Amino acid sequence: MTAGGVRATMTAVNSVVLAVFGLCAFALAYRFYSRFLATRIFALDGERETPAHTRSDRVDFVPTSRHVLFGHHFTSIAGAAPILGPAIAVIWGWVPALIWVVFGSVFVGAVHDFGCLFVSTRNGGSSIADLTGKIVGPRARLLFLLFVLFLTWVVIAVFAVVIGTLFDAYPATVLPVNFEIVFAVGIGYLVHKRGVGLLIPSLVVLVSLYLMIGVGVWIGSDWHLPALIGSPVQTWVVLLVIYSFVASVLPVWLLLQPRDFINSHQLFVGLGALYLGLLIVHPTVQAPAFDPHPEGAGPWFPLLFITIACGAISGFHGLVGSGTTSKQVDNELDTRPIGYGSMLGEGCLALMALLACCAGFESEAEWAQHYASWNAANGLRDKLGAFVEGGASFLQGLPLLTPELSQAILAVIVISFAATTLDTATRIQRLIVQELAAGYQLAPLQNTYVASAIAAFSPLILVFGGSTTPDGKTKPYFLELWPIFGASNQLLGALSLLVLSFYLIRRGKNAWFVLVPTALLSFMTIFALLVHLQRFVADGQVLLAVLSVVLLSLAAWVLAEGVLKLRALRRGEVDQDGLE
């Protein structure tokens, strides 16, 4: 059957059916599979003291209620990536995208997040990088840091372009987003310096933010930033990396913490409103069930598995879980709802993005305007517009929400998520640069401002670089960055799963529930990188081809380290790792 035939026979599918399927699968997975992992594989012990108690310092190690910590962890890992990945991948049809979002989250992503949080909590709140060094070896620790360095470099470029594109496409968002930043700084000052509670001020700012969105729609719908440097989007990117530089050197309590708390309210309110609107509107799916050969696109297998990255599995989550969350876990039993449950929450976000991009349009023809070809779907404006406009059609089922206001609300949510990721990635990049500089005695790079400048401004190479196409036009690199981001993120996740596998093997546990996702993720990512490398070479995109080779080399290194470690384990030649 042709793709068009598949599309024609599947248009009667109601989006609510898909939503119920996904949400029920997540609920059943948490009820049964996560309990199995908690009791039979990880053997959680509620009587064991956590690092938050044994190393309590009221700064980093702080016992925190599971409900509060769930919200903090969920909003820390939830960003724009689980929205953008499905928004691209639906070009191959909603069936493969739905399967990977649901079952990838259940059997790969949530296992990864739960495992990383558990092992870190069990072992003094150690970061996944330190755990890698102890479990696999010093070379593997260096490999992990290189992965993180590479990933954050690409993330900064990708999400700066995402925000710039949304600012340019939806100028009504500029005022409310900057309003949130300014007032987050004010809240940070009041909380840290004046001892004011965080909850009430953040809720006041949230309500004020929605009012400012209305003001932005009223006065800012026709305003656009002039193209002072390159295109308007590139001009926004320059301003955003300057902002990222400043944010990365400010104390976390002044901007990042209060703004993330405000964004947590946005996330829960926005996601709840979208699902409520979906139930009210119950639109029909307009996308094809399966279209293996859309015009100009590569093969869905294996590209789907790196296109939908954070919506199914994200190595970045392991950095959050082992870096900050594990230091605040009050009881080891809490790692199940926080680690496994939060990833299912991100799966709900990816599921909504998929539904918005498949059922948020009135006709197949309107859907095809965004996904007529790979080039159309790969353009950021159309890709982001598919979610914003499709999701806005759900919100319009709620009272008082006009199309313009609905679109602005969703665009502000995506920008807020992307800005959180941008800030976090810049700070992590700065810390990695400083750590590597300290290891190799490079004193100038240990300076906070120098390292922050490198972290913030070096991604501009990817934004302003490009390749010349056969017709003489310049094709910007940033249009092709998403596969590079997805591949680096998945490889980082594969490395974390490999570390977790060896941890379980050393303790006589059944590691197959982690080894199988490790093998699947490694194979799919390497296969997809080879496909993209072939295309980059054919198109003359030298820098992107080099980046693909670097990632393939790191992947080969991961596999080599894994094989050596496994052989040593079988021969009994591995010393105790000193972990519990």
Measured CA to CA, the distance from residue 76 to residue 320 in angstroms comes to 7
| Ranges of H-type helices in 32-173 | 34-36, 51-54, 66-77, 81-89, 94-104, 110-122, 128-135, 138-169
* Sequence ranges of the domains in the chain: 3-571
State the pLDDT at residue 374.
78
State the pLDDT at residue 37.
97
Asked whether the beta carbons of 157 and 459 are under 8 A apart, the reply is yes
Counting every residue, how long is the chain? 580
State the pLDDT at residue 473.
57
Asked whether the beta carbons of 14 and 285 are under 8 A apart, the reply is yes
Q: Across the strands, what pairs with 284? A: 14
Q: What is the mean pLDDT of residues 558-578?
A: 75
Is the model's pLDDT at 8 over the cut of 60?
A: no
Q: Which residues, in sequence order, are CB contacts of 101 under 8 Å at separation 6+?
A: 22, 86, 308, 311, 312, 347, 350, 351, 354
Q: Which residues, in sequence order, are CB contacts of 552 under 8 Å at separation 6+?
A: 526, 529, 530, 533
State the pLDDT at residue 539.
78
Pick from 108-117, 183-192, 307-316, 422-431 the range whose average pLDDT is largest.
108-117
Is the model's pLDDT at 19 over the cut of 90?
A: yes
- Between 221 and 146, residue with greater pLDDT: 146
Of the candidates 182, 305, 189, the one whose C-alpha atom is nearest the C-alpha of residue 251 is 189
State the pLDDT at residue 460.
92
Cα 181 to Cα 236, 254, 256: the distances in Å are 16, 10, 9
Asked whether the beta carbons of 84 and 370 are under 8 A apart, the reply is no
Share the mean pLDDT of the chain.
Answer: 88
Of the candidates 362, 371, 482, the one whose C-alpha atom is nearest the C-alpha of residue 92 is 371
Is the model's pLDDT at 192 over the cut of 60?
A: yes
Q: Lowest-pLDDT range, 199-213, 215-229, 346-360, 437-451?
A: 215-229
State the pLDDT at residue 145.
87
Place of tokens 């939830």: 78
Element (H, E) at 249: helix 232-249
Asked whether the beta carbons of 484 and 548 are under 8 A apart, the reply is yes
State the pLDDT at residue 7.
44
Summarised one tens digit per residue, pLDDT across range 466-508 is 655 555 555 666 567 888 889 999 999 999 999 999 999 988 8
Measured CA to CA, the distance from residue 543 to residue 565 in angstroms comes to 33
Cis peptide upstream of residue 302 (ω within 30 degrees of 0): yes
Residue 419 CB-density burial (10 A; 0-12 exposed, 13-18 middle, 19+ buried):
buried
Q: pTM value?
A: 0.91
Quote the DSSP letter at residue 90.
G
pLDDT classification of 4: cutoffs 50, 70, 90 = very low
pLDDT classification of 273: cutoffs 50, 70, 90 = very high
Measured CA to CA, the distance from residue 431 to residue 323 in angstroms comes to 12
Measured CA to CA, the distance from residue 335 to residue 285 in angstroms comes to 37
Asked whether the beta carbons of 554 and 143 are under 8 A apart, the reply is yes
State the pLDDT at residue 573.
67
State the pLDDT at residue 263.
85
Q: What is the mean pLDDT of residues 350-370?
A: 91
State the pLDDT at residue 474.
58
Q: What is the mean pLDDT of residues 222-248?
A: 87
Asked whether the beta carbons of 176 and 209 are under 8 A apart, the reply is yes
Q: What is the mean pLDDT of residues 59-71?
A: 84
Summarised one tens digit per residue, pLDDT across range 106-125 is 999 999 999 999 999 999 99
| 3-class DSSP assignment, residue 298 | coil
Please enumerate, as own/partner, the contacts of 462-471 that have beta carbons within 8 Å and a separation of 24 or more. Answer: 462/153, 462/154, 462/157, 462/543, 463/157, 463/160, 463/161, 463/234, 463/237, 464/230, 464/234, 465/543, 467/539, 467/540, 467/541, 467/542, 467/543, 467/544, 468/540, 469/539
Summarised one tens digit per residue, pLDDT across range 68-109 is 788 878 888 887 889 989 999 999 999 999 999 999 999 999
- The shares of helix, strand and coil residues in the chain, as percent rounded to the nearest 5, are 75, 0, 20
Q: What is the mean pLDDT of residues 137-161?
A: 87
Q: How many CB atoms lie within 10 A of CB 18?
A: 21
Q: Which amino acid is at 217?
A: V
Q: How many CB atoms lie within 10 A of CB 46?
A: 9
Is the model's pLDDT at 25 over the cut of 50?
A: yes
Measured CA to CA, the distance from residue 461 to residue 481 in angstroms comes to 12
| 3-class DSSP assignment, residue 575 | coil
Q: Across the strands, what pairs with 474? A: 468
Q: What is the mean pLDDT of residues 195-211?
A: 88
- Between 517 and 293, residue with greater pLDDT: 517
Q: Tell me the two tokens of residue 352.
A: 């909504």
Would you give the distance in Å from CA 42 to the centre of its chain? 25
State the pLDDT at residue 378.
57
Measured CA to CA, the distance from residue 397 to residue 253 in angstroms comes to 38
Place of tokens 């956590």: 50
Asked whether the beta carbons of 64 and 330 are under 8 A apart, the reply is yes
State the pLDDT at residue 431.
84
Of the candidates 349, 382, 177, 178, the one whose C-alpha atom is nearest the C-alpha of residue 273 is 349
Place of tokens 């029909």: 284
Place of tokens 């918005």: 356
Is the model's pLDDT at 371 over the cut of 70?
A: yes
| Ranges of H-type helices in 250-340 | 256-281, 300-307, 315-323, 335
**With the CA atoms of 259, 177, 489 and 238 taken in that order, what torsion angle do they form, in degrees rounded to the nearest 10?**
-120
Q: Tell me the two tokens of residue 575.
A: 């010393």
Element (H, E) at 475: strand 474-476
Is the model's pLDDT at 67 over the cut of 80?
A: yes
Phi, psi of 436 (to 5 degrees): -65, -40
Helix axes 364-371, 380-395, angle to 10 degrees: 150
